[in-house]
Chain A
């Protein structure tokens, strides 16, 4: 079953694609902050801050684009 998972594509429901952005944001935040923080004990808080920053930023960008799409003449 695991071999098939890495061989054939999985069927993704349409709504799931947006939620799959969250683990990707977490990965980006963890790796970026791992190379940036001075001390590793600062890492969890720094990662949390960056994840919130990315998600809120992307959310705001998405809302702005949705507004443009809805009200564009």
Chain B
């Protein structure tokens, strides 16, 4: 899908837009992106995007920008795990906080690890809810056990019992941290995609980014 003429076409389109100008890759004295792509080995857009998602910063490392990649990795990891440190294991909660969960998943491996941890807690909570439903059903034959087991309140009760339920004021801070870490990585994924589409590899040289003399 990303082989053939598509990256070259995207590079030419980007060259004519203002995106690369702001990155320092166009201007009167800058080499043509399309020509440079033919000279250099072209980075693959798909690989850059997947790496950038999976390990924040890895897309930039792949594009020959290791220092930027390291900065991105450290900051996104620190932000995401600060959120989880504040809010605990249920900071990543696909059932109760769906929109924040989607944002958190953009943090790649960090989000996936957080999801894996919260799933194991969810299974424990479901077991507690099931046991309680059975107890209530034994006490009262007319008790609707299925409805109770499916309710969010029963799950919340179980999480409180386990000591992992997020109080609202903590949830705001924790989910903001983890979610914004994911959204920042989304920005980095787009940056890696644009750079790979343009065939840009490595840091821009100083002479490439100087303002043309007028």
Q: Interface residues, chain A, CB within 8 Å of chain B?
A: 5-12, 14, 17, 20, 23-24, 27-28, 30-32, 34-36, 38-40, 43
Contact = CB atoms under 8 A, between A and B. Distances in A.
Interface in B157-192: 163-167, 169-170, 172-174, 176-177, 180-181, 184, 187-188, 191
Nearest to A10: B86
A14 B169 contact: yes
Nearest to A17: B173
A60 B184 CA distance: 24
Contacts of B86: 9-10, 12, 20
Contacts of B82: 23
A35 B68 contact: yes
Contacts of B170: 9-12
A9 B75 contact: no
Nearest to B181: A27
Contact of A27 (B24, B174, B184): B184
Given A27-B180, A31-B75, 9 more contacts: A9-B167, A10-B86, A10-B88, A27-B75, A31-B188, A32-B187, A34-B71, A34-B75, A39-B206
Contacts of B71: 30-31, 34, 43
Main secondary structure of the interface of B (DSSP, over half): helix
Nearest to A16: B173
B174 A31 contact: no
16 contacts: A7-B89, A8-B163, A9-B90, A9-B170, A11-B170, A12-B170, A14-B169, A17-B173, A20-B177, A23-B82, A27-B78, A27-B184, A31-B184, A35-B187, A35-B191, A43-B71
- 5 smallest CB-CB distances across A and B, nearest first, come from A38-B24, A9-B88, A35-B191, A31-B184, A27-B79
A5 B188 CA distance: 28
B123 interface: no
Contacts of B85: 5-6, 10
B193 to A, nearest CB: 11
Contact of A31 (B72, B167, B176, B206): B72
Contacts of B76: 27, 31
Nearest to B80: A27
A8 B84 CA distance: 9
B9 interface: no
Contact of A9 (B166, B176, B188, B204): B166
Given A38-B204, A38-B209, A12 B173 contact: yes
A55 B57 CA distance: 26
